[in-house]
Every structure is written in structure tokens, then in C-alpha cells.
Structure 1
Amino acid sequence: MTDILILTHVDYCAPGHLATVLAEQGLDFTILRADLGELDGYDLDRPRAVAVMGGPMSVNDPLPWIGVEVAALQHFIQRDIPIIGHCLGGQLIARALGAAVHRMPYTEVGWQPLIRRERASPWLAHLPVEFPVYQWHSDTFDLPKGAEWLLSSPWCPNQGFTWGDKVLALQGHPEMTEELVRGWLSDWSHLLDETQASQQGMRQMLTDLPARVEALNRVADGFYRHWLALAFNEQPIAQAV
């Protein structure tokens, strides 16, 4: 067991750049597949930081493990430990905090611009007013009671929120790597519909991919540095994008 827990829900929604950041800092972490029941029997009082990754399912699907994971997140929130959620992970956090998650009338896919709605949050200290993040989702969350609205995009108003000072829920995928982007586009291109204005085409998503991922990594680095600083009582280091 380790002090950092990462919850995943399918093999192709891996921790990605988050795992790279932790490895570079020499930090061990435990990955559990919540959808395979691996949270059963896990000591919920052990982790000092929790990350929740994405997945193709909806929080509203009648899957028994979703209730188990939501209950675990509620326990982590009550323990006041740092939690960061990515896409489905952000939606699960919203549900754990009592907010609704619902289907959008379209799917948001590709490199979408995010706009800051809050200028003083330490989670955003490394970011400009507008920056791109990779997206692929059809559901979105409402803001929980007491949450602070952080980010929006042209196609999804609620792109991120904080709750208290240690919980960050994101609708996008800052964890993406070149390998993950190419893998998703290779395996799931049949789900794309370029007639939807909310979706980019494959060529557009792959153009300048190394540079785009490098910029995305810098966005993610700031989120992850702050998350780890909260967990281990360190001062986060700001980094310009």
C-alpha cells in the first residue's frame, strides 16, 4: 500500500502524465480498478492523496461499483485529503458532493479552449486566462453546493470546480500523453462525428500533437504540484505556461 491512490475505470484511461510526474518525483502510488471491484477491502484511511481518472461509462449507469466509489470519495472528502478528478473522475466527485450529472445535447471532443472564471485560486496560479485542454465527453456535472466555479469552455460551461481547498474536479483530460491521444483516435475514431461543431476532426486533433501535449503537460504539472503540496505539506512552485 502507498500514500497515493489512483482510481481507474478502464485500461485505456490510464494515469498518463500523472504517473510520469509521480515517477519523476520518486513517489510510489497504488492504482485500483474501481470497475473491477478492487476498492473492496481497501483501507480508505490510508491514502494521503487521491486521483480519479476517466472512463467511457456514465455516473448515471446502473453499475454497482459506482455507488461503492462514490461512497469512498465521500469518505476521502470527510477526511479532508487532496482529491483531483479527471472527466468521469470529476463527475464522480460532483456526485459525491450531491450534484447532478447529466447528458449534454452533443459530445465535446478535441483541443478546446478553457476560460478561467476565478482569478485567485491556487489551483490556477500557473495558468493564463485562456488555455487548451483535451476533451472527450458527453456528460457534464452541475456545480455542487458550496463549490467555486473555476473553468468553462465554449461547449461546456462547467469545466472545473473546487470544493473547499483540497478538492478539484475537472471535466477535461490534462493527463493525456501522445500515446493516449493516438490510441483513443485509433480505437474510437468510429465514434467521432465531424458534422458536430463541438467535435474536432482527427487531422485537426493530431496536428502539432507533440507541441500540444507538451503545453498540456505544463498545465497538468501545475495541478499535480498543488495537489501533492497539499498532501505533503509543501509549498507549490508556480510555473508559467
Structure 2
Amino acid sequence: MTDILIITHIDYCTPGHLAKVLDDAQLSFTELRADLNQLEGYDLDRPKAVAIMGGPMSVNDPLPWLQVEINALKHFISRDIPLLGHCLGGQLLAKALGAQVSKMAYTESGWQAMDVVAGAEQSPWLAHLPDDFDIFQWHGDTFALPEGAQPLLSNRWCANQAFSWGDKILALQGHPEMTAELVRQWLHDWSHLLDASQPSQQSCEVMLDKLDDKVGALNQVAEGFYRHWLSQAPELYARLNGLS
């Protein structure tokens, strides 16, 4: 076991760029598939930082392993360790904190521009962000804000794109972890689920246009989130190479 835990939920929602950041920094991590019941028997007092990735399921689906994961997240919250949720992972954090997760009237997909919520400009989670930036999206559910949360990001399709809770928790509705390989894979396998005639959904052509440039910009956004996440666990942050 290692000091960093990454929870995944399906084979094609990998840690992506997060894994590269940790590998480059020579920080080892444990990856567990919650949907394969790999959280069962895991020592929840071991990790010093936890990231939760995405998945196609809803937090409201009647899947027993989802409740096991939510209970694990509640335990991590009680331990006051850094937690970072991506898409489904952000929704699971919201649920664990007592907020509702609900279905939207449409799917939001593609490279979507973000807005910093008024009053959140000084949040340390956002200190690295440029004036204009996109985060890759693919979701049909959205989280409400838990009691005590600070809203951070929003856009025209989804009012709650990110929130922080306390000093050490960040929940994101989008996918900052995306790599060019992951974008191509998702569009190859799942583009039939999209409808580019809907204004909230980009066409495959738009998503793939200048993909390397878009992913490069997204990597910079992601690395700022990951840097601050790790900085909340000083014993891990001190071992970072190339991120400070």
C-alpha cells in the first residue's frame, strides 16, 4: 500500500494526467476499482491523500458498492485528509457531504469555458488559473452545494462546476485529468451517445480540433489543482519533483 489512493470506477476512466504527474514526481500511488469491490478490506486510515475519478454511473444508482465508497469517503472526510473528485468523483464527494446529486435536462460535453464564481477569486485552489480556460466535460448529472461549501467555478450549462469544502476538499464536475489518448478513446467508443445538434454538446470534430494544444492547456490547469491538493499533505508535498 502507498500513501496516495486513487479510486476508479471503470476501465476507461483512468487517472490520466494525474498518474503522469505523480509518476514524474516519483510519488507512488495505489489504484483501486470501487466497482470491483476493491475498497473492501482496504485500510481507510492508511492514505494521506485521495483522488476519486469519473465513471458512467450515477451516484443515485442502486449499486451496493457505491454506498461502500460513499461510506469510505465519509471516513476520509472525518480524517481531514486532502480529497479531490473528478466528475463522478466530485458528485460522490457532494453526496458524502450531504448534498443532492440530480440529473440535468441535457448532457454537457466537450471543451467548455469556465467562469470563476464571484467571491472565489482568492481561493488557493484557483490561484494558478489563467483568465480564460476550458475544462473537458462529459456529464448528465450535477451536484448541489453541500452546507458549508464554497462555490468556485460555474458556466452557462452547469451552475455548480466546482466547490471546495474546508481547506482540503475539491470537487470538480469536469475532467481535468484528460489526455489526448483518453479524449480519442472516449470519442471512438462513445460518440454515439452524443448529439452535436444540442448546444451543450460539441461535435467530435470540434473536440478533436487542435487537440494537443487543448490538452496542453488543460494539463496546466490540472497540475495547479493537483499541486494544491498535495500541498495539503505536507509529507507528500515535500517529496514533489518539478511541481513546486
TM-score by length of 2: 0.95
Task: Name the residue aligned to 1:175.
Answer: 177
- In the TM superposition, residue 24 of structure 1 has moved relative to its aligned partner by 0.3
* Secondary structure, aligned partner of 1:103: strand
Task: Name the residue aligned to 1:216.
Answer: 218
Task: Name the residue aligned to 2:91.
Answer: 91
* Secondary structure, aligned partner of 2:227: helix
Contact 1:116 1:129 in 2 (8 A): no
- In the TM superposition, residue 87 of structure 1 has moved relative to its aligned partner by 0.1
Once the two structures are superposed, the pairs formed by residues 98-117 of structure 1 within 5 Å of their partners are 98-117=98-117
Task: Name the residue aligned to 1:24.
Answer: 24
Question: Residue deviations 1:8-52, cap 9 Å, x none?
Answer: 000000000000000000000000000000000000000000000
Q: Which runs of 5+ in 1 are unaligned?
A: none
Question: Residue deviations 1:31-81, cap 9 Å, x none?
Answer: 000000000000000000000000000000000001000000000000000
Once the two structures are superposed, the pairs formed by residues 53-68 of structure 1 within 5 Å of their partners are 53-68=53-68
Matches of 2:70 and 2:122, distance apart in 1: 29
Tell me which amino acid in the other structure corresponds to 2:157: W
Task: Name the residue aligned to 1:202.
Answer: 204
Task: Name the residue aligned to 1:188.
Answer: 190
Matches of 2:168 and 2:230, distance apart in 1: 10
Task: Name the residue aligned to 2:234.
Answer: 232
* Secondary structure, aligned partner of 1:130: coil
Task: Name the residue aligned to 1:158.
Answer: 160
Question: Residue deviations 1:173-229, cap 9 Å, x none?
Answer: 000000000000000011010111100000000000000000000000000011111
Misfit runs of 4+, over 4 Å: 233-237
* Secondary structure, aligned partner of 1:106: strand
Matches of 2:181 and 2:129, distance apart in 1: 24
Matches of 1:31 and 1:54, distance apart in 2: 13
Question: Residue deviations 1:104-134, cap 9 Å, x none?
Answer: 0000000000101110110100013431000
Contact 1:116 1:130 in 2 (8 A): no
Task: Name the residue aligned to 1:122.
Answer: 124
* Secondary structure, aligned partner of 1:188: helix
Task: Name the residue aligned to 1:48.
Answer: 48
The total of aligned residue pairs comes to 238
Matches of 1:231 and 1:63, distance apart in 2: 32
Q: Which runs of 5+ in 2 are unaligned?
A: none
Tell me which amino acid in the other structure corresponds to 1:2: T
Once the two structures are superposed, the pairs formed by residues 69-88 of structure 1 within 5 Å of their partners are 69-88=69-88
- In the TM superposition, residue 153 of structure 1 has moved relative to its aligned partner by 1.3
* Secondary structure, aligned partner of 2:214: helix
Matches of 1:145 and 1:89, distance apart in 2: 18
* Secondary structure, aligned partner of 2:133: strand
Matches of 2:130 and 2:74, distance apart in 1: 32
TM-score by length of 1: 0.96
Contact 1:9 1:53 in 2 (8 A): yes
